[in-house]
Amino acid sequence: MNKSIEAKEPVRILIVDDEEIIRDLLYDALSQTGYKVKVAINGRDAVKQIENEPFEIVITDLRMPGISGIELLQHVLKMNPDVCVLIMTAYGTVESAVNAMKLGAYDYICKPFELEEMKIVVEKAVERQWLLRESRMLEFYRHLSITDGLTKVYNYRHFHEFIERELQKAKRNSSTFSLLFADVDDFKVYNDLNGHLAGDEILRELASIFLNTTRKTDFVARYGGEEFTVVLPETTINAGLGVANRIMKEVRSKKWMYADILSNKGITMSMGMVAYPKDALSKDDLIRKADDAMYHAKRLGKNRVCYFKEDVIVEVE
C-alpha cells in the first residue's frame, strides 16, 4: 500500500453482505491493511449505519434479500454522491455489475475473489477518496485566504482581484458596473463605550445586511476596519443607488444594541457610489472617487449616500 496513504487518517469503509463468511473475510483483510472498517448484515442495516456515520467507501453485494445492492447504491449516492460504492457480484452476473457502474458505482469485485485483487480495487477507491479530501482541503484554505475572518464576506485582497477582473470584463463587453463604499458612522465612539466584542457583532450584522440586500452575483467585501465595499456587475449608477438606499433603509430600521448613545441614536453609515465608465476608467480612480464621495457624505452630516453628478459630488435626494 502507498506509504502516503498509511500515514493519513484511515478511510472509513462499510462492508455489506448477507453472508457472514464474506463479511468476516473482508473485515479482517481490510482492517489489517489499516482502514477503519464496519460491517452490515443487509441493505437495511447498511442504510441505518450510513445515516449515522460518514463512510467514504461502501462495498456491497449485488444480490441480497430486502434492499438489493442496486437499491443501496442509489440510496447511498442520493445521500452523498462522493461515496465510492464497490459492487460485489458472481462471475455470472458481471453484466449486472457493469450496469451498476452506469448508475454510479465506482468499480466491481467478482466472487470468488483473490484477496490481493480485491485490495487493488479498494486501493483505487481509497486513492480517489484521498484526492477528494485533498481537493476539499485546498478549497477550504482558498476560501479562508479570500474571506474576512470576522464577517465572513470577502476580504481586502480579494476585492482588488475581483474589481480588476470586473473592470477588464466591462472593457471587453463595453458594459457598466457600480462600486459602493460604505463606512460605519461614529464606530470608534461605539467601540470605546461598548467594547470591541460589541463592535465586532455590529460588523457581523452589517455584513449580513449587505449580503441579504444584494444579488448573488454582487461582490461584498470588508475593505478594512468598519468599511465595506460592494461591486455591482452590470449595474448603472441609478440602479446602484437603489441598492445603496435599500441597504441604508435596512441599517436605519434595525434595532441596534447599545447604539442609542450615538449622535444618530443608532447605527448609521455614510456611503459613496461611482460607476464605470461614467465616473472613472481605472481601478484606482474608481476607488478614489468612491472614497471621496463617501467622505463627502460624512462631511454633510453622515447617514447618507453621495455620488458624482458630472464632476460634482451630490447627495442622493
Confidence of residue 37 (pLDDT cuts 50, 70, 90): very high
Residue range(s) occupied by CATH 3.30.70.270 in the chain: 156-315
Q: What's the fold here for domain 3-139?
A: Rossmann fold (3.40.50)
What is the secondary structure of the chain as a DSSP string?
A: --HHHHTSPPPEEEEE-S-HHHHHHHHHHHHHHT-EEEEESSHHHHHHHHHHS--SEEEEESS-SSS-HHHHHHHHHHH-TTSEEEEEEEGGGHHHHHHHHHTT--EEEEES--HHHHHHHHHHHHHHHHHHHHHHHHHHHHHHHHB-TTT-SB-HHHHHHHHHHHHHHHHHHT--EEEEEEEETTHHHHHHHH-HHHHHHHHHHHHHHHHHTS-TTSEEEEEETTEEEEEEET--HHHHHHHHHHHHHHHHHS--TT-TTSTTSS--EEEEEEEETTT-SSHHHHHHHHHHHHHHHHHTTSSSEEEEETTEEEE--
Mean pLDDT of 192-211: 93
* pLDDT bracket for residue 260 (50, 70, 90): confident
Q: What is the mean pLDDT of the chain?
A: 91
Please tell me the predicted confidence (pLDDT) of residue 100.
85
Does residue 97 surpass a pLDDT of 80? no
Residue 86 grid coordinates? 464497490
**pLDDT tens digit string along 217-241?**
999 999 999 999 999 999 999 999 9
pLDDT exceeds cutoff 70 at 2: no
Where does the chain hold its CATH 3.40.50.2300 domain(s)? Answer: 3-139
pLDDT given for residue 126 in this prediction: 94
* Residues facing residue 229 across a β-bridge: 181, 221
C-alpha cell at 143: 476560501
pTM for the full model? 0.70
Per the annotation, the verdict on 9 as an active-site residue is no
| Out of 2-11, 49-58, 302-311, least confident range | 2-11
CA distance 113 to 267: 70
The fraction of the chain above a pLDDT of 90, given in percent, is 73
Q: In this predicted structure, what is the pLDDT of residue 96?
A: 79
Confidence band of 92 (pLDDT split at 50, 70, 90): low
Marked catalytic residue, from 56, 166, 226, 227: 226
Closest C-alpha to 35, from 9, 53, 74, 65: 9
Top CATH class of 156-315 equals alpha beta
Q: Which of 174, 190, 316 is nearest to 261 (CA)?
A: 190
At residue 6, the pLDDT reads: 39
**Residue 250 confidence (pLDDT) above 60:** yes
Alpha carbon distance 54, 76 (integer Å): 11
Packing angle between helix 156-173 and helix 283-299, nearest 10 degrees? 120
Span 267-278, pLDDT tens digits? 999 999 999 999
Give CA–CA dist 119/182, Å, rounded: 59
- 146 CB-side CA count, 13 A: 12
Residue 299 has pLDDT above 70, yes or no: yes
The per-residue pLDDT for range 126-175, each reduced to its tens digit, is: 999 999 999 989 988 999 999 999 999 999 999 999 999 999 999 999 99
Query: What is the per-residue pLDDT for 56?
Result: 96
